[in-house]
């Protein structure tokens, strides 16, 4: 993502609806909504599975209380793997799980990393983002994809609390 670019790229996600994969354009996900979006390197990977996503799930109501219309997660995995992950963790349907199978969305943001040395191929960097009506308001990207610190649910909630107090919150690009 270029430094001045703050509009969500056009890409098609896949989601499961009534047991079938369907296409969902990125514009329709983010238009007219305040969205907390979390980029995750991969379903079932240790930090995503045991740390990052469970805390996002636990803090869902806190996001709603802070004026967020939608909590969503995306990963460069196919829709079937992400659906199996949803089932394995018992992720509520209230959290939108967006399959970016080809990495088009992450690539459009400039947030792909090369995980070939780990046997993962190209993956999304780990990040937390706030989008308001399709415009990126805040982005925190982890320097190390195995950590969930600046991209954690807690960190983004703290940023919302600061915004609600009228404070400026800086984005973190690692």
Q: What are the sequence ranges of the domains in the chain?
A: 12-164
Instruction: Give the tokens for residue 54.
Output: 């469970």
Q: What span, in angstroms and rounded, lies between the C-alpha atoms of 100 and 102?
A: 6
Distance, in Å, from the CA atom of 170 to the CA atom of 139, rounded to the nearest integer, reads 8
The Cα–Cα gap between 109 and 1 comes to 5
Residues contacting residue 108 through CB under 8 Å, at least 6 positions apart: 1, 9, 10, 11
Write down the CATH superfamily of domain 12-164.
Glutaredoxin (3.40.30.10)
Its pTM stands at 0.91
Is position 48 annotated as part of the catalytic site?
Answer: yes
Catalytic residue of the set 48, 68, 76, 97: 48
pLDDT tens sequence for the chain (174 residues): 333 458 899 999 999 999 999 999 999 999 999 999 999 998 998 888 888 899 999 999 999 999 999 999 999 999 999 999 999 999 999 999 999 999 999 999 999 988 888 878 889 999 999 999 999 999 999 998 888 888 999 899 988 888 878 877 666 654
Q: Note whether 37 and 73 are within 8 A (CB).
A: yes
């Amino acid at each position: 993502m270029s430094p001045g670019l703050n509009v969500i790229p056009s890409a098609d996600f896949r989601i499961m609806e009534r047991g079938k994969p369907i296409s969902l354009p990125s514009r329709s996900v983010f238009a007219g909504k305040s969205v907390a979006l979390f980029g995750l390197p991969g379903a079932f990977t240790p930090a995503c599975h045991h740390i990052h996503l469970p805390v996002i799930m636990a803090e869902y109501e806190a996001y709603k209380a802070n004026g967020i219309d939608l909590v969503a997660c995306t990963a460069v995995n196919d829709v079937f793997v992400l659906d199996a992950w949803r089932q394995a963790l018992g992720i509520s349907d209230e959290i939108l799980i967006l399959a970016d199978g080809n990495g088009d969305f992450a690539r459009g943001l400039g947030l792909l990393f090369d995980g070939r040395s780990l046997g993962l191929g190209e993956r999304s960097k780990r990040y937390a983002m706030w989008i308001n009506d399709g415009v990126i308001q805040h982005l925190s990207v982890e320097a190390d994809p195995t950590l969930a610190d600046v991209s954690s649910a807690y960190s983004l909630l703290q940023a919302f609390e600061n915004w609600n107090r009228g404070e400026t919150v800086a984005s973190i690009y690692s």
